[in-house]
Amino acid sequence: MYIANFTNIGIGEEIIKEILRLYVDLADSHGGFGHGCDRSAFDPFHFVNAAAAADLSEHHLLDFDLLRQGAAVSILCGVYDHWCEVEDFSKESAWMTNLRMALSDGTFTYVPETKAALEELLHHNPSFSDAWVAPLFQELYDLYVASYFRRLAERSAEAHRMGAQALIRKAPPLVVYVDIDETLIRNVGRSRIPIPAAVQHVRDLATQGAELYCWSSGGAAYARESAREVGLEALFTAFLPKPQVMLDDQPVSTWRRLVQVHPLSCESETVASYRARLSRPLPPREPTEER
Ligand SMILES: [Mg+2]
C-alpha cells in the first residue's frame, strides 16, 4: 500500500495525472465505463488505500480522495474489461486473483461503494443479458468521475462570479440625473400625479447601485419636496436646480458619454443596459473631448 511522505510524494502526483487521463477518457469516450479505457500501467491495488505517513497531515500532501477513488475507478475498468472479454467472473486470472484478495483484506475501506458493487458482481456473475450491470457501473461513474468534473465546474463558476462581482464593485457608479415635472410627476391642472413606471425605474437604478441626482427648473428645494412626494427622497445624493447657463467648451449635444432617456421608454432599462449604451466604441477622436 502506498504511504505518502515528502520523499515519495512525486509518485502520488504522477498517479493522479494518470487518473485524470483515465477520467477524461471515460468522460470523453463513453460518458461512463467502457471497454478498453486507458488505464495506463499503474497498479491500482497499491493506491486504493493510500494514506499519509503517520506524522504528516493528508491535507498538505495530495488529493487523497482523488487518488483512492481514481484507483477504484481503474479497478472497476479492469473488472469491466474482464466482463466484456470473458463474461464470466468465475474464470480465474492473475487479475481476478488480485481482486479477490483485495476484497478479502480490507483494501476498499475508503471506497465502500466499489467494494459492494464488486461483491455483487462476483456473487451473481452476470451475463450480458443482465440489465442491472450497466446502471451499477453508471452509478459508480457518477459518484467518482462525473462528480469530480462537476466540482471543478462549480468551483470555476464560483470564481467567475466572484471575479465579476469584484469588477462591478470597482466600476465607478453610473451617474443619473432625474427631472421632476412630466418625468416623475404629471401636472394635470392643479393635481399632481406620480408616474409609476418612472418612479419604479428610479428605485431600480438605486438598487442596482446608480448614483442619483434630482434636478428641476423649479429649483433645488422644489426638486427635494417633489422627490419626497413620490417617496424617493432618500435615494438621491443631492437636489439641484437645472442650469440656466453652462460654461463648457463642448455643446451638450456633442457629449459622447451622455444618454438621454424619455420617461416613457425607461421601463426596460437597467444600469447594465445604460452602461452598454455608454461603452459603445467612439467614432475617431476629435482634437478635444468633453470633460
Ligand atoms: Mg420636465
Examine the pLDDT at 107 and tell me if it is beyond 70.
Answer: yes
Taking the model in full, what pTM does it have?
0.57
Q: Which residues are CB-neighbours of 218 under 8 A, at least 6 positions away?
A: 180, 181, 226, 241
pLDDT tens-place string over residues 34-85:
998 888 888 999 999 998 887 777 666 789 999 999 999 999 999 999 899 8
Quote the percentage of the chain above a pLDDT of 70.
Answer: 94
The per-residue pLDDT for 284 is: 59
For ligand 1, the distance from its centroid to the CA atom of residue 195, given in whole angstroms, is 12
Examine the pLDDT at 288 and tell me if it is beyond 80.
Answer: no
For ligand 1, the distance from its centroid to the CA atom of residue 194, given in whole angstroms, is 13
For ligand 1, the distance from its centroid to the CA atom of residue 179, given in whole angstroms, is 6
| Domains of the chain and any CATH numbers | 3-168 (no CATH), 172-278 (3.40.50.1000)
For ligand 1, the distance from its centroid to the CA atom of residue 218, given in whole angstroms, is 10
pLDDT tens-place string over residues 235-285:
999 999 999 999 999 998 888 889 999 999 998 999 999 998 888 776 655
pLDDT tens-place string over residues 71-100:
999 999 999 998 998 888 888 888 888 899
Answer for the pair 25, 70: CB distance below 8 angstroms, yes or no.
Answer: no
For ligand 1, the distance from its centroid to the CA atom of residue 190, given in whole angstroms, is 16
For ligand 1, the distance from its centroid to the CA atom of residue 182, given in whole angstroms, is 5
Mean pLDDT of the chain: 90
The per-residue pLDDT for 91 is: 85
For ligand 1, the distance from its centroid to the CA atom of residue 278, given in whole angstroms, is 23
Answer for the pair 274, 174: CB distance below 8 angstroms, yes or no.
Answer: yes
d(C-alpha 111, C-alpha 234), whole Å: 59
For ligand 1, the distance from its centroid to the CA atom of residue 277, given in whole angstroms, is 23
For ligand 1, the distance from its centroid to the CA atom of residue 62, given in whole angstroms, is 67
Examine the pLDDT at 166 and tell me if it is beyond 70.
Answer: yes
